Amino acid sequence: MTEIHIPNLPPDVLFQIGSFDITNTMINAWIAIVIFLVLGIFVKRSAKLRPGKLQNTCEFFLETILGYFDQVTGDRKKTLQFLPIVGSIFFFILLSNWLGLLPGTGSITLRHQMLLRPANTDLNLTLAMALVSVISSHIFGFIAVGFFSHLGKFIQIKNIFKSIKKGPIALFVALIEFGVGLIEIISEIAKVISLSLRLFGNIFAGEVLISVISALVGVFIPTPFMVLELLVGLIQAGVFAILTIVYLTIATSQPHRVEEH
């Protein structure tokens, strides 16, 4: 009977640098970063007013992404402001997902441990990207609408003290607004959890599916599932990026009361 190797939930530690663990998912992440670094250097050096094939390809993808982001922000200036963060997240997730489908990933071993593994099957990585997404939205919010205006979307303690003089109805309304603010804080935590678990769960499930099918039926049958995983990798990168730019857009919008005034 064919032995089926199911990937472990935590990544395998390949070696250590001091007290720092180097895992197989980190290897794939570094490969993606190096590819982007080399590509960026080539594009920068070959950038001309009369673009070549590489520059044309990069500009095509960039214009396509800008068009999608504009539909969320409604403002090209905002889109360009958010592009360094959201674009980096999108392309990194996309490339790291696709690198996980290359031959050797999940099959080459080092001391009975997988040498290469899709980077986004590491919950630490997806959680870190989710934190970057949510925290950056608040940083942009503080810059765009002001520290106290943005903080007032969540905590409005001043309204409680002011409403005491206005009567019980005003106090009741202020307490409701304070409770809604606490719910908003909880929703920010939920954003981090949902972003990280959604990406991790989909990529890890795909890795397990391909591993099981490859062990059961050989080489050619898993090919359609690998093509499907290409699509899943693109969709998950797009979902993560779109949600990030939605968070950024909402955070940089004026509070409702300011807009009404």
Q: Is the pLDDT assigned to residue 250 strictly greater than 70? A: yes
Count of CB atoms situated within 10 Å of the CB of 177:
15
Least confident of 6-10, 163-167, 234-238: 163-167
CA-based nearest residue to 90, from 228, 232, 243, 240: 240
Predicted confidence band of residue 107 (pLDDT cuts 50, 70, 90):
low
Amino acid at 130: A
Average pLDDT value for residue range 127-140: 96
Lowest pLDDT segment from 66-70, 129-133, 210-214, 242-246: 210-214
- Tokens representing 67 are 């068009």
What pLDDT does 182 receive? 84
Q: Which residue has the higher pLDDT, 48 or 95?
A: 95
- C-alpha distances in Å from residue 250, one per residue of 60, 149, 153, 185, 247: 28, 13, 11, 14, 5
Residue 137 CA to residue 6 CA, distance in Å, equals 37
Average pLDDT over residues 154-168: 66
| pLDDT of res. 117 | 87
- Predicted TM-score (pTM) of the model is 0.86
Q: Name the CA dihedral angle for 107, 110, 113, 119, rounded to a multiple of 10 degrees.
A: -70
Structure tokens at 115: 């040498």
- The torsion angles phi and psi of 167, rounded to 5 degrees, stand at 120, 170
The per-residue pLDDT for range 68-88, each reduced to its tens digit, is 999 999 999 999 999 999 999
Give the start-to-end residue ranges of the domains of the chain.
13-260
Q: What angle do CA 62, 139, 243 make, to 5 degrees?
A: 50
Average pLDDT over residues 192-221: 82
Q: Could you tell me which of 41, 129, 35 has the C-alpha nearest to residue 90?
A: 129
Query: What's the full length of the chain, in residues?
Result: 261
Q: Which of 89, 51, 96 is nearest to 69 (CA)?
A: 89
Window from 44-58, 138-152, 161-175, 198-212 with minimum mean pLDDT: 161-175
Residue 240's pLDDT is 96
| Token couple for 7 | 């990937």
Euclidean distance between CA atoms 18 and 20, whole angstroms: 6
Res 202: pLDDT: 92
